[in-house]
Chains A and B, each alone.
Chain A
Amino acid sequence: MGPSHPAMHGTIRIMLELDGERILNSEVEVGYLHRGFEKTCESRTYFNLLPYTDRLNYVSPLINNLAYVMTVEKMLAVEVPERAQYIRVIMSELSRISDHLTCLAAMAMECGAFTVFLYKMKAREFIWDVIEETTGVRMTTSYIRIGGVRADFHPDYKAALAKAAVETKKVLKDVHGLLDKNKIFLNRTRDIAVVSPEKAIAYGWTGPCLRSTGVYYDVRKASPYLVYDLLDFEVPLGERGDNFDRYMVRMKEMEQSLRIIEQAVEKMPKSLAPVRLIAEGMEPAEAIKTSRVRKPEERIRLSPNLEGSEKERYSDILTDAKGCKVPPKEDTYTSIEGLITHFKFFMKDHGIRPPKGEVYFSVEGGNGELGFYIVSDGTDRPYRLHLRAPCFHVVSALEEMIRGHYVADVIPTFGSMNMIGGELDR
């Protein structure tokens, strides 16, 4: 099966030894998407390797950004403004929902439930609308930056967020109705590929897969980061650790994520900077052109597609610490000091230079504990950067999980694990 198979959403090869339809033995071959992420990062500066992290788990790039950025911040001991922390929480929960939606959509489609696939993709579009409005792109966001975030929320984000929440809730209700008691779905998922809690721990499972076996471990609860300890949410657990439990845990987690978002929007400190739209009603090309024409009495504003990235908002969304953020464009283009700071930031052997040492930091990603291990030698590039990819550990159990089952069981089992090639193969 694979590396390219219509029922496999990712390039992975599973070699099966069969007796009729029963699997006697199997071998999983990974590495088709290996692109030397860790090696590449060693020759990039801390600031400019951020876009590479978007491409790890490409369904939830914001969580990858967050994990990397917080690891570097831990070395630099940087304090992030409160509003930025709430923005980060909202963004990573949105990503988590889109990650789970994609995983379950693919899993359901491969079991023949095409309607579910379409419903979930629809809900994901609404979530990506919110992300797009604020970050400017849908997938490769690079939005969460060292010291804060790239821009404040789009002024209309509340409406978009409310719409996304309503639509997602509707879809979740529909999907529960379509699948929970569906005999075809149950036959293919209930008691198939059962994993005991001991085995899951021995395999280093984390995230929804580990929780489906009944082990209570969530990085957000075990070692809270950002403002997760101020928010009220539950960690859904499974009982049997089979495919159905993995589906159910993800479904329940999405509800919790929506709860977190609701609370975070309520609690988020208000921005003091005035809201002024500059690109409203303009086509992007026209807006960029206008923003480049300098008028003496008017403030220069760039990035018209990223509303809320002006200097007056920086205190809300970026740290005060010097030398770890890109200086505001308004300064760069209007004053000589601003220009020098700008060059100093991007010049070789300047910019972000964490102290010597090594650090490991992890966040709760869509698939589990997403951790970065960085060794710094005091220069502007990491000496060694290692990613703890959650689905690497999950997929390594696949061989054992499908042994003794039928060929058809490989598909829902594989689907429930949420293998993401970019993250697995690095």
Chain B
Amino acid sequence: MEKKKIIEELKQKFPEKVKETSVQFGAETLVIDKDSLLDIVQFLKAEPYSYTMLLDLTCVDYKGQEPRFEMVYHLYSLPNKHRLRIKAKLGEKDLSIDSLTSLWKNANWLEREAFDMFGIVFRGHPDLRRIFMYDGFEGYPLRKDYPLRKRQPRIPLRE
């Protein structure tokens, strides 16, 4: 399948939801409306696009910009050997986005990581807890306003 075709077809299928498209360093990027994430991703996962693999999921904090956070998804299509980057912007007031756990199993841990590090809330996630940090940790360490050398209060020993 032609690589450029995917972006064109997506634009036709979801004219209002795909906000921006760009190509940089050889990678196609789509910026979409955050509420239509599940629809678009489901469409891409099905044939003939077959983006069946969720390679990576992460978040970037653009402090000082509005909307402040940006979710970044990397999808991979095994038959077409193609990577696609999908981004959705989140404002500081509403930090929730649909969870992809119903489509991919590794989204479970990846979303827990984004929650742990940035405080993004995933709607429909079965078990949204911290993953790397411990319970009782205050703040979200990968946000730009979290100081690099900040100390945390001691917590009592767990049973």
Contact = CB atoms under 8 A, between A and B. Distances in A.
Interface of A: 30-31, 34, 36, 38-40, 43, 74-75, 199, 201-204, 215, 217, 222-223, 357-360, 362, 369, 371, 373, 375, 383-384, 386, 388, 392-393, 396-397, 400, 425-426
Contact of A203 (B24, B105, B142): B105
A77 B104 CA distance: 34
A43 B147 CA distance: 11
B106 A396 contact: yes
A396 B132 contact: no
Given A360-B83, A396-B106, A396-B109, A34 B61 contact: no
A360 B142 CA distance: 19
Interface centre among B27, B55, B72, B148 (most CB of A within 10 A): B55
Nearest to A36: B141
B7 interface: no
B106 A34 contact: no
Given A39-B148, A360-B83, A386-B58, 7 more contacts: A75-B25, A203-B105, A357-B25, A359-B24, A360-B27, A375-B60, A392-B110
B52 interface: yes
B72 A373 contact: yes
A202 B72 CA distance: 18
Given A30-B132, A384-B60, A199 B25 contact: no
B56 A38 contact: no
A358 to B, nearest CB: 7
Rank and list the top 10 A-B pairs by shortest CB-CB distance, nearest first: A31-B132, A204-B106, A34-B132, A396-B109, A386-B58, A388-B56, A359-B25, A202-B105, A384-B60, A393-B106
Contacts of A396: 105-106, 108-109
B53 to A, nearest CB: 6
Contact of A223 (B81, B85, B109): B81
A39 B141 contact: yes
Interface string B49-71: 00011111010110000000000
Q: Which of A199, A384, A392 is most buried by chain B, counting CB atoms within 10 A of its CB?
A: A384
Contacts of A371: 55-56, 74
B24 A357 contact: yes
A202 B74 contact: no
A43 B148 contact: yes
A373 B56 contact: yes
B133 interface: yes
A426 B116 CA distance: 13
A129 B106 CA distance: 38
12 contacts: A31-B131, A38-B117, A38-B142, A202-B104, A202-B106, A217-B78, A358-B24, A358-B25, A371-B56, A375-B60, A396-B106, A397-B105
A426 B109 CA distance: 14
A215 B78 CA distance: 9
Contact of A388 (B55, B141, B146): B55
Contacts of A384: 60-61
Nearest to A357: B24
Nearest to A362: B55
Contacts of B83: 360
Nearest to B52: A201
Contacts of A425: 132
Contacts of B134: 31
Contact of A34 (B25, B105, B133): B133
A217 B80 CA distance: 12
Contacts of A215: 78
A30 to B, nearest CB: 7
A371 B53 CA distance: 14
B109 A392 contact: yes
Nearest to A33: B132
Given A30-B132, A38-B142, A373-B56, A359 B106 contact: no
A406 B61 CA distance: 44
B114 to A, nearest CB: 10
Interface string B83-111: 10100000000000000000011101110
Nearest to A377: B62
Contacts of B108: 396
Contacts of A39: 141-142, 146, 148
A43 B60 CA distance: 15
A201 B27 CA distance: 22
Contacts of B131: 30-31
A69 B141 CA distance: 25
Nearest to A386: B58
Contacts of A38: 117, 142
Contacts of B117: 38
Contacts of B54: 204
B53 A201 contact: yes
Interface in B115-134: 117, 131-134
B78 A359 contact: no
A381 B14 CA distance: 37
